[in-house]
Amino acid sequence: MITVVGIGADGWPSLSAEARAAVAQADLLVGGERQLDLVPPDEASAAERRAWPKRLTELVDELPALAADGREVVVLASGDPLLHGVGTTILQRLGDDGVRVIPAVSSFALACARLRWPASSVELVSATSRIAEIVVPALQPGRRAVVLGFGPTTAARVARVARERGFGASRLVVLEELGGATERIVESTAQEWGEREAAALHLVALEVRGDGPLLGRAPGLPDDAFEHDGQITKRDVRAVTLAALVPVPGQLLWDVGAGSGSVAIEWLRAAPGARAVAIERNQARAERIARNALTLGVPRLRVVHGAAPDAFDELVDGPDERPDAIFLGGGLRGSGLLTRCLGQLKPGGRLVANVVTVEGERVLADARAEHGGRLTRLAVAHAEPLGGFTGWRPAMTVTQWELRVR
C-alpha cells in the first residue's frame, strides 16, 4: 500500500490519529528533507527514510515495486497532497489503485483564513515551476489570488510581474511558514516589495490594483496584446475560431502554422489545465510565439519549430498525445495537410481551418463535400476616418470550416 500523508509546518502534533498510525506502520518513509525532519526519530523508528531525488518522478515510478510484498510505503507531502502537491503526481503516473491519501489543512486554506478571504472568491495559482508569469491571467482589477511558489524569491518574482504590467499598486501579502512556530505575515505592495527574499516556504497573496491593461480570459484579446509581424488571426475572427475549437480543461490543441501563437495562447487562457502545441516553420516567429506565451501568462505552451505535417511525427507518442483539437490558420494549397490533420485527431476531436484565398476555399469546399462539417464566411469591417467623415474599412473575408470527427 502507498499512503500519501499531508503534514503542515507545525509537524507531528497536528497529524490526525489516522495519519500518525500510517506513519508508525511504515516500512519506507519518503518525502522532502523538511517533511522527514518533522517526524520525530522515535516515530516510524523501523522505517527506512528516503528523501526525494532531484528528478522526483524517478522515485515515484519506483513506488509500486517498493510497496510490493505487503510493504507499507508512506509519502509525506505538504498540507493537502492533492492541491498542486506530490499526491497529484503519484495519481497521474500510477493511478489510484493501491494509493491512499490522508490530507492535512492546505497552505491555501490557511492563507485564506489568515486574510479572512472567502476561499471561493480567491484564485489559486501554482508558480512552483519558478515561472512567475503564470500569474498574469489573474491580474485583473479587484481580483484576489494566492500564489504557491518555490524558494525564497517567489514574492520578488511575482511583484516584478505585477509591476511590469501596470499593477504595482496591488496589495501584496507574504505569508511565511504558515501554521508553524515561525509563522510570519508581511504586508506590502508589488511596487514596494522590490527584490526582497522571504522564507523558503511562503505564499504570496495578491489583491490586484492598478491601471494595467484589462485582459480578460474570454477569447478575443486585442491584436496589440501580441507581438506579431502581421501573421496573426485577427481579434474578431480569433474569437469565433476559439468558440469553434471549444477549449476544454485537460484537452490538447495543435495550432498548425501558428504565426504569432494567438490561437494557442487564447486556448490556454480560456481553459485552465488545457494543453497546446504551436507548430511554426519560421524560426523568428517560433521565438516570438514563446515570448507571447510568457508575456500573456501561459509559459506551458509548447513551441515546435518545424514544418507541418513532418513535425507531427515528434508530437505523437501514444494515444494520449493525439490532439483533441487542431487549428489550421497558416493557409492551404492542397488537401494533403488537411487529410493528415484529420488522421491525427482523437475520436470526437475538432478541426477548424481558416483561409482567405480562393484556392483555399476550394480545398475547404471539397473537404466539406467529402466529410461534412460546417462552412462559414466571416466578413468584418471596422469604422475608420474617411476624410472628414467615417467609413467602413473591410478586413479580408475569412472562410472557416469546422468539423467534429466521429
Q: Which three cell numbers stand for residue 338?
A: 488537411
Judge if 249 and 370 occupy the same domain.
Answer: yes
Q: What is the pLDDT of residue 126?
A: 92
Judge if 272 and 392 occupy the same domain.
Answer: yes
Judge if 113 and 177 occupy the same domain.
Answer: yes
pLDDT tens for each residue of the chain, 406 residues long: 999 999 998 899 889 999 999 999 999 999 999 899 999 988 877 789 999 998 889 999 999 999 988 899 999 998 999 998 899 999 999 998 889 999 999 999 999 999 999 999 999 999 887 899 999 999 999 999 999 988 899 999 999 999 999 999 999 999 999 998 899 999 999 999 999 999 999 999 999 999 999 999 999 999 999 999 999 999 999 999 999 999 999 999 999 999 999 999 999 999 989 999 999 999 999 999 999 999 999 999 999 999 999 999 888 765 568 999 999 987 788 889 999 999 999 999 999 999 999 999 999 999 999 999 999 999 999 999 999 999 999 999 999 999 999 8
Judge if 267 and 236 occupy the same domain.
Answer: yes
Judge if 181 and 293 occupy the same domain.
Answer: no
Beta-sheet strands, E only, within 104-213: 122-126, 144-148, 171-176, 184-189, 202-207
Instruction: Specify the amino acid at residue 210.
Output: G
Q: Which three cell numbers stand for residue 59?
A: 522515485
* Residue 168, CA distances (Å) to 135, 175, 203, 270 in order: 14, 19, 18, 25
Q: Does residue 217 fall inside a structural domain?
A: no
Bridge partners for 29 per DSSP: 49, 74
Q: What is the pLDDT of residue 317?
A: 63
Q: Does residue 162 fall inside a structural domain?
A: yes
Judge if 252 and 381 occupy the same domain.
Answer: yes
Cβ atoms of 119 and 109 within 8 Å: the answer is yes
Judge if 396 and 308 occupy the same domain.
Answer: yes
Cis preceding-peptide flag for 309 (omega within 30 of 0) = yes
Q: What is the pLDDT of residue 123?
A: 96
CATH of the domain at 295: 3.40.50.150
Q: Does residue 397 fall inside a structural domain?
A: yes
Given 157, 174, 207, which residue is the final one in a domain?
207
Bridge partners for 125 per DSSP: 147
Cβ atoms of 288 and 258 within 8 Å: the answer is no
Closest by CA position to 77, among listed 19, 138, 144? 19
Judge if 97 and 194 occupy the same domain.
Answer: no
Instruction: Write down the H helix ranges in 171-282.
Output: 190-193, 235-245, 262-270
Q: Does residue 194 fall inside a structural domain?
A: yes
Bridge partners for 326 per DSSP: 254, 351
Q: Does residue 196 fall inside a structural domain?
A: yes
Q: Does residue 212 fall inside a structural domain?
A: no
Given 89, 105, 121, which residue is the final one in a domain?
105
Given 161, 177, 207, which residue is the final one in a domain?
207
Q: What is the pLDDT of residue 318?
A: 56
Q: Domain containing 80: what range?
A: 2-105
The whole-model pTM stands at: 0.91
CATH of the domain at 62: 3.40.1010.10
Q: What is the pLDDT of residue 320?
A: 61
Judge if 380 and 296 occupy the same domain.
Answer: yes
Q: Does residue 333 fall inside a structural domain?
A: yes
CATH of the domain at 164: 3.30.950.10
Judge if 16 and 54 occupy the same domain.
Answer: yes
Specify the number of domains making up the chain. 3
Judge if 363 and 280 occupy the same domain.
Answer: yes
Listing DSSP states for 190-201 in one string gives: HHHHTT----SS
Q: What is the pLDDT of residue 70?
A: 86
Backbone angles phi, psi at 256, to 5 degrees: -95, 120
Judge if 125 and 185 occupy the same domain.
Answer: yes
* DSSP assigned state of 211: -
Q: Which three cell numbers stand for residue 18?
A: 489516522
Beta-sheet strands, E only, within 259-369: 275-280, 302-305, 325-328, 350-355
Q: Does residue 216 fall inside a structural domain?
A: no
